[in-house]
Amino acid sequence: MIRLTGKFMQTGCLGKKVMKTGKPLILVLAALLWVGMTTAGLAAERDTIDITNPFLKKIPLAVPMVKTVTGAEVEREVSEDVVDLIGKTLEFTGYFRLISKDVYLDDLRNSGIVGPNIRFGNWTTIGAELLITGGLSVKDDVVVMELRLFDTFKQRMLIGKKYSGRVCDRRRMIHRFCGEIIYMLTGSKGFFNSRIAFVSNGTGNKEIYICEFDGFDPKQITRNRSINLSPAWSSDGKCLAYTSYAKGRPDLYIKHLSENRGAVVSRKGVNITPAWVPGKFELAATLSFSGDQEIYMLTGTGKMIKRLTDSWGIDVSPTWSPDGKKMAFVSDRSGTPQIYIKHLAEGRTERLTFQGRYNTTPSWSPVDDRIAFSASAQGEINIFVIRETGDGLSRLTWQSGRNESPTWSPDGSMIAFSSTRDGKAGIYVMTAYGTDQRRLIELPGEQTHPRWSPIILND
């Protein structure tokens, strides 16, 4: 049994949900008939999801109400919230399609949540390939829940877990369970224990904020009433580096998020665009104390290690390969902003982008050789992805305002970015192949410069 303790970033423990009203019976029967015909023969073997497939078929998933022990109002409220959160969390990944509760044929609160008591035929009939069941009890602000994942065609349980903790911990419990599902299906740990840093001007100033992976619980980090830009996470997720004009010039700040300590790099000129080296307490940043904007390697306390670029032009926006042996960056050494790759061991630098005259804000996937970036094409600013070799160039956004500052989820399955498609700049997310684009968070003002954290194991 996994027992959750400690403080979590949940605000508000209970909240009633409004249940959907049912559809006319004839429509439900017609839907069931159509689903039953189209899902016949779908009981093929499935052991894993191929997350590299851009044409991935979403898995139909049913998440009925979990069973309560006493039926007390507090248990019913928590049950509704748990079901809603499970559905939203798994749907967020882009791997699943939630089946509407309007077509459910069974109520597991009455029939049972374990394999022998589940009428699997009622779930395969409506097209559900996976089914999540559960039960919970609440006593003295402690919730105990059991959650199970079933393959409806094979009629067998794939995952069964039990969790206990405070009522307000239930969000963390659900993320733990959903993480088990993603790991079983993809072999990846997913991104549920990650956060996104971003810039918002809702206060009238550009301040750094952080939120959970799905936009939940945004918190303001800087409060200097100035301009703060380019947040970057350390590889352990405990520190943020960013540029701030708090003292009237672009200085580089390194801030430990849970401890009152950090460092400031305040050399003459600019100190901008930090990027942490994977697995090390080191970061690259652009400094101009020598007169030209070049990229340097610094320690996590801001001390100079070495110079990484040395050429005519402006070199900015470093981003690291997963092994930390290569660095992509932006340079105008050819006359226009283009993306280059530096091989640190050999000291060799190669130009990566050749299409267009404006290619900026590169972000290297934390799991492979894909690099996302912003580029101007046909009068628009859009998000593209390219391989380290220069192959596989693909465009992910179309005719939707300015789309900039892409950043990868820690498992490489999703990309967050800034877009003005709704008029003002906001933070959006999409799959790594450009599907399921939607706004992540609604806040006053504009939100820009998103940066996805690595997996954060301990808060």
DSSP class per residue in 208-247: EEEEETTS-S-EE---SSSBEEEEEE-TTSSEEEEEE-TT
Structural domain contains residue 459: no
How far is Cα 312 from Cα 328, in angstroms, rounded to an integer? 17
Structural domain contains residue 426: yes
How far is Cα 444 from Cα 220, in angstroms, rounded to an integer? 13
Q: Which ranges in 314-445 belong to alpha helices (H)?
A: none
Domain match, 358 and 219 both: yes
Output b/e per residue, 63-97; b: 16+ Cβ within 10 A.
Answer: bbbbbbeeeeebbbbbbbbbbebbbebbbbbbbbe
Looking at residue 44, what is its pLDDT?
41
| Full domain range(s) for residue 108 | 2-186
Q: Which three-class secondary structure state does DSSP give residue 6?
A: coil
Domain match, 238 and 289 both: yes
Domain match, 19 and 127 both: yes
Rounded average pLDDT over 162-171: 94
Q: Considering the chain, what percentage of its residues have pLDDT values greater than 90?
A: 79
User: Average pLDDT, whole number, for the chain?
Assistant: 88
Rounded average pLDDT over 297-322: 96
- Assess contact for 363 and 317: CB atoms under 8 A: no
67-to-38, 62, 247, 406, 437 alpha-carbon distances in Å: 30, 15, 57, 41, 34
Structure confidence at residue 12 as a pLDDT band (50, 70, 90)? very low
Domain match, 161 and 26 both: yes
Q: What is the CATH number of the domain that holds 382?
A: 2.120.10.30
Rounded to 5°, angle at Cα 194 from 188 and 196: 130
DSSP 138-175: EETTEEEEEEEEEETTTTEEEEEEEEEEEGGGHHHHHH
Structural domain contains residue 458: no
Q: Does pLDDT of 193 surpass 70?
A: yes
Structure confidence at residue 52 as a pLDDT band (50, 70, 90)? low
Q: What is the CATH number of the domain that holds 46?
A: 3.40.50.10070
449-to-83, 243, 319 alpha-carbon distances in Å: 33, 12, 14
Q: Does pLDDT of 20 surpass 50?
A: no
> CA quadruple 164, 175, 80, 134: dihedral positive or negative?
negative
Domain match, 308 and 377 both: yes
- Please tell me the total count of domains within the chain: 2
Burial class (CB in 10 A: 0-12, 13-18, 19+), 379: exposed
**φ, ψ of residue 320 in degrees (nearest 5):** -105, 145
- Residue 420's nearest CA partner among 452, 371, 383 is 383
Rounded average pLDDT over 10-26: 35
Last residue within a domain, chosen from 169, 186, 203: 186
Looking at residue 379, what is its pLDDT?
86
Domain match, 283 and 258 both: yes
Structure confidence at residue 113 as a pLDDT band (50, 70, 90)? low
174-to-72, 112, 301 alpha-carbon distances in Å: 21, 20, 36
Domain match, 218 and 107 both: no
Last residue within a domain, chosen from 120, 155, 186: 186
Looking at residue 114, what is its pLDDT?
64
Last residue within a domain, chosen from 186, 221, 239: 186
Structural domain contains residue 269: yes
Q: Does pLDDT of 311 surpass 50?
A: yes
> CA quadruple 93, 370, 321, 263: dihedral positive or negative?
negative
Domain match, 311 and 222 both: yes
Higher local confidence (pLDDT), 31 or 134: 134
Domain match, 213 and 91 both: no
111-115, 205-209, 328-332: the lowest-pLDDT one: 111-115
Q: Does pLDDT of 37 surpass 70?
A: no
Number of neighbours of residue 30 by Cβ within 10 angstroms: 12
- Residue 454's nearest CA partner among 241, 233, 268, 152 is 233
Rounded average pLDDT over 141-169: 94
- Assess contact for 300 and 262: CB atoms under 8 A: no
- Assess contact for 425 and 448: CB atoms under 8 A: yes
Domain match, 138 and 116 both: yes
Domain match, 6 and 27 both: yes
- Residue type for position 363: S
Looking at residue 107, what is its pLDDT?
82
Domain match, 199 and 91 both: no
- Assess contact for 339 and 354: CB atoms under 8 A: no
Looking at residue 160, what is its pLDDT?
95
pTM metric for this prediction = 0.87
